[in-house]
Structures are given as C-alpha cells and as structure tokens.
Chains A and B, each alone.
Chain A
Amino acid sequence: MITVDRVHKSFPLGGETFTALGDVSLELADNEFVTIVGPSGCGKTTLMNILAGLETPTSGQALLDGKPVTGPGPERGVIFQQYALFPWLTVRKNVEFGLKTKGVPRDERRRIAEHFIDLVGLSQFADALPKTLSGGMKQRVAIARAYAVNPTILLMDEPFGAVDALTRVRLQDQLLATWSQEKRTVVFITHDVDEAVFLANRVIVMAARPGRIVEVIDVDLPYPRNDELRLSPAFTALRNRVWNAVYHQES
C-alpha cells in the first residue's frame, strides 16, 4: 500500500517560494491502477519523483506499507517520458540492467529478460540497439526493463506523451494486456483525459498553484477494456466528468 501523508514540496524560484505540492494526501491499495491527470505545473511529476525516491518532500512523507520512502528501491519500477534507455546497450542488455545490478546469474537474467521482451512483443528486436527502434518500441523496452526487476509498484511519468495518437492507443491496449498478466500497483501520470479514464480504476485530478488534488473519480468499468468500451456511453460520461474536473477548475 502506498500512503502519501501531507506531502509538501516547495523550492525557491527567482526570489519567491514556488509551491510545487501543497499538502497532498493519498492512499493507494495494492494492484490498483491509478492515473494522475492535471495541467502542467500541478506537481504530478514532483509527486511521482517523491514516490520514486528521486526527490524528497519539504514536509510530510510518502510511505510504502508503512515505511517511509528514503530513496529509490527495487520494489518501485519507474518509466520515464524520455524512455531513458541506455543507448549503448541492446534491448536485451537494457532489460537485463536492473537484474545485473541485483546480481542475478547470467542464465536466469537472460531467461527473465526474454520473458518480458516477449511480453511487450519485441522478441524480434532483442539484439537491436535503441537507435533503430521507434518511440513506441523504445517505451515498450522501458516497460519490460522496469518489469524485469519484479517491482510491486510501477511509476509511469507520461510514458506515452511523446508518441503519436495512433501508437498511443495501441500502447494503452498493450499496457493493460501486460498489466492483466502481471498485476502491479500502477501510478500513471498523463495529461490526456481519455488515457486517464481508459487505463485507470481511479483517476486523480490535480490542479496547479499550489499543486493539489481537486477530485478523485472512481472508474467502475470492467477489465479487460477494449475499443467497444472506449466508445461506450459509460466511458464518455466518466470522461466528461474528468474533463470538467481538469479544464473547469474553480481557481
């Protein structure tokens, strides 16, 4: 379980104090798929970095199963918007990276990497360098790499933000397919309302200045989700609710 307890993050910006996050509290159950949506500057990336242990809050704390987060840990996999693949390593070596730091023996490393490369549908490209892959493929490698170290939590920071709309829809389908086979707690940050509703069982809407949670919307739609659901009235109704929460915030 993830608990965010009155997390506050501010830093000096041109002589003033900029409040990235103002007392945000949140609880996430295990194996939940939560999306965080909001305008830029609402502190969603800061919140994710705090959960990842890459940034520390000014006050308050993030807890994992009751233990405070003090730094990155193997139970939390992170997927960055800019893919962050090591360009000098092949797809396979990228996926094996975390296993190697953990000291997993070679044969087992290879077996695990193979499994997750296969899971994201890139078996053909296992020995390719990242520069030969498209943006969508790179992000799938990053997903496989995060999965390989077997985290219980996946933190995804606008992972599909840099790919075209068609690829994005396919990647969403695929992420859900992967997630349904390998359940994890997912915190997925996006600025795309459709994406937020389609993926999540809970959508958290944030607002800026100061960064805060304005609304939490439960998405009671069944998994697996497909195109039919994407076009259903129930989906549209939820989408409209989230849309209003994001774009018509009282300031």
Chain B
Amino acid sequence: MTLVQTPAPAAAQEAPAGRRRRGRSRTLVLNAVSVVAGIGVWWALALSGFDIPTPPEVLKRYGELIADGTLLADVGASLTRVLIGFVLGVALAVPVGFLMGWYGPVRGLVEPWIQFFRTIPPLAIIPLAIVLMGIGETPKIFVIFLASFLACVIATFQGVVNVDTTLINAARVLGANDRVIFARVVVPASTPFILVGMRVGLGSSWATLVAAELIAAQQGLGYRMQSAQLYYDLPTIFVGLITIGVLGLLMDRLLLLAETKLTSWQERR
C-alpha cells in the first residue's frame, strides 16, 4: 500500500520551539530589568522627599515581622480563608456550570440568579454577610466563596456550551451515549475554560479577601495594614502590600502551570 510521506512532527516543531525558548529568556531579562528599575524609582522617590519608606526600611520591617511570627500568622490566616472559600466556590461552580450547559431547564432556573449576583461586587455583600453571619470567619469565607463561584460557574458553562458539535457527533457515531459523551467529550473539552475560570476566580477571591479583612478581622494581611494605618506605620503597610502581591502572583503561576500541563493538547497560536 502507498504511504503518504510526511515529515516527522518533531522536526516540524523544532524551529518554532527554539525561537520560543530564546524569546522566553529575553522576556525574563526584560522582566528583571523592569523590576530593578521599579525598585530604583521607588527608592529615588523616597529619598527625594516623598513620605514613603525606602526599600531597606521595608526590608528591615520584613525581618522584624518574620522574626516575631506576625507575618507568618497573618499569611496563614489570609491563605486559609482564601483557600477554603476558593475550593468551596470551585467545587460548587463546576457541577452547576456543567448542569447549566447540559440541561436547558437547569440553565433557565439558575442563570437569572447568577447574572444578578454577578453584577454585585462581592465586596458589596460584606455588610449583609456581617449582619447575618457575625464577625467571625464565616462572612469572609462566604464572600470569597461567592467571588470564586461566580467567576468559575460562568466559565464552566461557557466551556460546555462551546464544545464542538462535530466532536459530539463523532462520539455519537462511535456508539457513545449521553453519559459517555459527557464524561469523555464534554469534560475534557471544557477543561481549558474551567481552568481560566479558576484563575479569574482566584484573582477575585484574593482581591475580595483583603478588602474583607480591612473591614472586620483580628488577624490577616488586610487587618495588619488596617491597624498599621492607625499608627502611621508605613513600612508595615508596604510589607502587607508586597506580600499580597507576591502571594497572588505565586498562586496565579501555580494555576497557570496546572493549565499548561492539563491542556497541552490544545492548538495554540
């Protein structure tokens, strides 16, 4: 029989991969340059009379807060809230999103509420949550749950709706029933959407958390900055801000890594 001659896929991919690697290392250099320059500008502003602490002052405060255990306790408190709220939100959002995408009636029943709550910033729920749930952990975890749920449910729903009909037909003609189509076509095909939803959800969880802690908390990064404000303790505020930024970035990177691993089958431009 005749064999169609085609170049090996590895050979075809080598050139762009090499270019990409070079591009990536250049990007990293540019990133580093940008960070160093940013710190330089900050330092210059601090020295030229702006009322902000210099980098060494902030670094010194970092050392103190780490030494007496405050920073670790705050980070622990904040991360616990975010992770509990986020995990609960995603755990509910994925099945609800699937049901909405798969069953028309469920969509009709659930969608108005989701669209309605989506227009309310989770922060605006805080006063109500505090009145109804007290000032303990529950209202904070609840608003974080809400923030991640809303982001993730929409993404999951979009993922299910966007599954290529041809793929579903292909599965049907290969003998798949609805259950098999769901498990082996709809779930994998919507994974990229779910992961994007999780990243957006994590971002908004983190943003919501800090604000929730600013309003009512006894511990946590937001609380620490709030109390530092009372004493005009600028270095502590800077420590809080930088820690929040770095932690948010790290969590996002982790999810991005998971996304790359789980969806490497996608054709990317």
Contact B169 A80 (CB under 8 A): yes
Chain A residues close to B by CB (< 8 Å)? 52-54, 71-74, 76-78, 80, 82, 84-89, 97-98, 101-102, 119, 121, 124-125, 128-134, 136-137, 140, 145, 149, 167, 170-171, 173-174, 177-178, 181
Query: In the assembled complex, how far is the CB of residue B187 from the closest CB belonging to chain A, in whole angstroms?
Result: 10
Contact A52 B173 (CB under 8 A): yes
Which residues from B are CB-within-8-Å of A102? Answer: 175
The 9 closest A-B pairs by CB, nearest first: A98-B174, A132-B9, A84-B170, A177-B1, A78-B173, A121-B3, A88-B265, A101-B175, A72-B173
Contact of A86 among B1, B169, B188 (CB under 8 A): B188
Residue of A71, A72, A85 contacting most chain B CB atoms (<10 Å): A72
Chain B residues close to A by CB (< 8 Å)? 1-4, 6, 8-9, 12-13, 164, 166-167, 169-177, 180, 184-185, 188-189, 191, 264-267
The number of A-B residue pairs with CB atoms under 8 Å apart is 93
Given contacts A84-B167, A86-B185, A131-B265, contact A121 B175 (CB under 8 A): no
CA distance A145 to B191 in the complex (A): 24
Residue of A86, A102, A119, A174 contacting most chain B CB atoms (<10 Å): A86
Which residues from B are CB-within-8-Å of A73? Answer: 175
Given contacts A131-B267, A170-B2, contact A88 B172 (CB under 8 A): no
Which residues from B are CB-within-8-Å of A128? Answer: 9
Which residues from B are CB-within-8-Å of A132? Answer: 9, 12-13
Which residues from A are CB-within-8-Å of B188? Answer: 86, 88
Contact B4 A87 (CB under 8 A): no
Contact B4 A77 (CB under 8 A): no
